[in-house]
């Protein structure tokens, strides 16, 4: 569909139930909502809808599960996570096929996401064995001061549809490694990959109640879980507006929260690079998962001397991307995940046109079946255009020239977002400068590879607070207890 339209493939119907207290259930209301294949717009399954009674049961199960799990030795918790990782690898093809059917991304990207879930569980399994405390020299004789780390308690976690497996795995892995239990609200648009992770953990020997999966109506679920006295921590990945609402709800209950929110990542391309070779490389990163990535490069600022060559090559490469059903191995970019995103991108591009920008590639829906949108390149956008101020979260790249590096830093930092930023240069001095000057939780210099289970992931400003991944991800689920003791 660029270029060439690829025929969508059929997918078998399936259903995704709730997982509460160690068992799969249709829920007290026996209500269901459809799961839609974004490449065909056809229902391919259904998911259960949690009632208030189901949520209370999940909370009770998480409370009971925590009392058991927190006392398991770190090595025993590690063994469960490592066994689950092995099971995920054994089931990779089935899990990846389900992910592509429900979310739309190309099958190779789905395989990579499922593989990253196994990697994340293995990292958490090892890091959980190293939740060290410390001995503090006391100020009087015969007094011992110990700073110990303990699991914070049952967690309410909320995960998005763009990476329905790996985002769930990041939260699950660190929380379980720390000794916490969890009620996970999975993504209703693509719920089955998270359910597959839950099944792997259950098969690996996770005690009932330690991990519970609920689905349904997000506002009702989030309000119910956050208000419950059972829940001790919130972890959310999603949009800035929803994140702010949930953060306010958590603050009202005095509950700590990890908020991994949206981004609008600038990319600074300096004139000392090869603009043609770099443009061909950067196109692949831009249109990964149809641009539905919170750290997706969106605003490309290119030094004037390299601008024309970069734009020409980028536009040509964007037009050549093969768009189609993710099950087709020729597909390089799948559909948008649902009709809401298709409508939002279409409206944003029409507004961008009206503001005087030039659409150099794409700018339209592809076909009339499936949520396909052409890889889009925008130039000449006014600096106050909405597309430069709000996260597009789709297959849209905005390219603009610059001449002064201080000025381009101000433009790059001139949004409320601060999740990721990138720069490409051959100058060590420039690389050091942008690394310090860019306001983002993650900065990639000459690379987009800023994430992985070993590294902290998160943003600043409106892009959230707290980190997932690395030792920081584990620490988010631990609290420090000060223990003072004398011989008696």
Instruction: Concatenate the DSSP letters of all residues of 14-75 into one string.
Output: EEE-EEETTEEE--TT--EEEEEETTTTEEEEEEE---HHHHHHHHHHHHHHHHHHTTS-HH
Among the listed residues 109, 470, 38, 157, the one whose alpha carbon sits nearest the alpha carbon of residue 293: 109
**Pick from 5, 9, 93: which is nearest to 328 by CA?**
9
Place of tokens 């049952």: 154
Q: How many helices and strands in the chain, by DSSP H and E?
A: 15, 21
Query: Quick one: pLDDT at residue 13?
Result: 63
User: What's the half-sphere exposure (Cβ side, CA atoms, 13 Å) at 275?
Assistant: 23
Which of 102, 113, 260, 303 is catalytic? The answer is 260
What count of Cα atoms within 13 Å lies in the side-chain half-sphere of residue 101? 22
Domains in the chain: ranges and CATH: 14-261+463-483 (3.40.605.10), 265-452 (3.40.309.10)
Element (H, E) at 341: helix 339-354
Is 260 annotated as catalytic? yes
| Radius of gyration of the chain, Cα coordinates, nearest whole angstrom | 23
> Mean pLDDT for each 10-residue chunk of the chain (488 residues)?
40 82 94 96 97 98 98 98 98 98 98 98 97 94 95 98 98 98 98 98 98 98 98 98 97 98 98 98 97 97 98 98 97 97 97 97 96 98 96 98 97 98 98 98 97 96 96 97 93
**Cα end-to-end span (Å), the chain:** 77
Q: What is the DSSP letter of 471?
A: H
16 has catalytic annotation: no
Which residues make Cβ contacts (< 8 Å) with residue 364, sequence separation at least 6? 349, 373, 374
SS3 annotation, 293-331: CCCCEEEEEEEHHHHHHHHHHHHHHHHHCCECCCCCCCC
Task: Give the whole-angstrom CA distance, residue 471 versus residue 393.
Answer: 29
User: CA-CA distance, 194 to 18, in Å (whole number)?
Assistant: 11
Q: What angle do CA 396, 403, 450 make, to 5 degrees?
A: 50
Q: How far is CA 426 from CA 272, 284, 412, in A?
A: 6, 21, 19
Q: What is the Cα–Cα distance from 454 to 445, expressed in whole angstroms? A: 18
| Residues constituting the chain | 488
Sheet of 18-20, strands arranged across: 23-25, 18-20, 211-214, 182-185, 155-158, 233-237, 257-260, 464-465
Looking at 102, 294, 391, 468, which residue is catalytic? 294
The whole-angstrom separation of Cα 167 and Cα 190 is 12
Q: Residues 46, 52, 56, 59: is their CA dihedral positive or negative?
A: positive
Using alpha carbons, list the distances in angstroms from residue 457 to 112, 114, 165, 344, 356.
18, 18, 16, 27, 36
Query: Is 227 within 8 Å of 249 (Cβ atoms)?
Result: yes
CA–CA distance, 60 with 341 (Å, rounded to integer): 36
How far apart are alpha carbons 196 and 324 in whole angstroms? 25
289 contacts: CB under 8 Å, gap ≥ 6: 105, 109, 162, 163, 296, 334
The per-residue b/e assignment along 295-307, b for 16 or more CB within 10 angstroms, e otherwise, is: bbbbbbbbbeebb
Write the CB contacts of 124 (distance below 8 Å, at least 6 apart in sequence): 81, 173, 174, 176, 177, 453, 473, 474
The CA distance from 352 to 63, in Å, is 50
* Nearest residue to 359 via CA among 349, 367, 351: 349
- Report the side by side order of strands in the sheet with 376-379: 358-361, 376-379, 396-402, 297-303, 265-269, 420-424, 442-445
């Amino acid at each position: 569909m660029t270029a060439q339209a690829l025929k969508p493939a059929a997918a078998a119907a399936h259903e995704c139930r709730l997982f509460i207290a160690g068992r799969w259930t249709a829920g007290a209301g026996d209500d269901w909502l459809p799961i839609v294949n974004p490449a065909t717009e056809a229902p391919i399954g259904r998911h259960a809808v949690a009632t208030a009674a189901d949520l209370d049961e999940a909370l009770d199960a998480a409370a009971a599960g925590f009392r058991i799990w927190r006392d398991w030795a770190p090595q025993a918790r590690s063994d469960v996570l490592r066994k689950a990782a092995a099971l995920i690898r054994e089931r990779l093809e089935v899990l990846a096929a389900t992910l592509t059917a429900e979310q739309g991304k190309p099958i190779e990207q789905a395989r990579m996401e499922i593989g990253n879930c196994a990697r994340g569980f293995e990292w958490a399994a090892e890091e959980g064995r190293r939740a060290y405390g410390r001995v503090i020299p006391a100020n009087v004789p015969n007094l011992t001061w110990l700073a110990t780390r303990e699991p914070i308690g049952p967690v309410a976690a909320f995960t998005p549809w763009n990476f329905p497996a790996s985002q769930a795995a990041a939260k699950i892995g660190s929380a379980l490694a720390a000794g916490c239990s969890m009620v996970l609200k999975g993504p209703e648009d693509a719920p089955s990959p998270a359910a597959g992770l839950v099944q792997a953990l259950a098969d690996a020997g996770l005690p009932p109640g330690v991990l519970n999966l609920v689905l349904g109506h997000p506002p009702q679920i989030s309000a119910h879980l956050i208000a419950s006295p059972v829940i001790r921590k919130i972890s959310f990945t999603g949009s800035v507006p929803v994140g702010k609402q949930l953060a306010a709800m958590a603050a009202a209950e005095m509950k700590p929260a990890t908020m991994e929110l949206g981004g609008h990542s600038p990319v600074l391309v300096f004139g000392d690079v090869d603009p043609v070779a770099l443009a061909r490389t950067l196109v692949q990163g831009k249109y990964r998962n149809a641009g539905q990535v919170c750290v997706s490069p969106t605003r490309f600022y290119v030094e004037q001397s390299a601008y024309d060559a970069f734009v020409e090559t980028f536009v040509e490469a964007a037009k050549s991307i093969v768009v189609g059903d993710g099950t087709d191995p020729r597909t390089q970019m799948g559909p948008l995940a649902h009709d809401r995103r298709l409508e939002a991108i279409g409206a944003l591009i029409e507004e961008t046109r009206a503001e005087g920008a030039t659409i150099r590639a794409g700018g339209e829906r592809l076909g009339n079946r499936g949520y396909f949108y052409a890889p889009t390149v925008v130039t000449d956008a006014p600096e106050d255009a909405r597309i430069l101020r709000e996260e597009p979260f789709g297959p849209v790249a905005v390219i603009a020239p610059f001449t002064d590096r201080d000025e381009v830093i101000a433009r790059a930092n001139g949004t409320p977002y601060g999740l990721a930023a990138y720069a490409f240069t051959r100058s060590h001095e420039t690389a050091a400068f942008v690394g310090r000057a860019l306001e983002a939780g993650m900065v990639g210099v000459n690379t987009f590879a800023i994430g992985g289970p070993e590294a902290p992931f998160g943003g600043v400003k409106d892009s959230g607070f707290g980190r997932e991944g690395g030792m920081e991800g584990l620490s988010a689920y631990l609290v420090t207890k000060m223990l003072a003791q004398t011989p008696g």
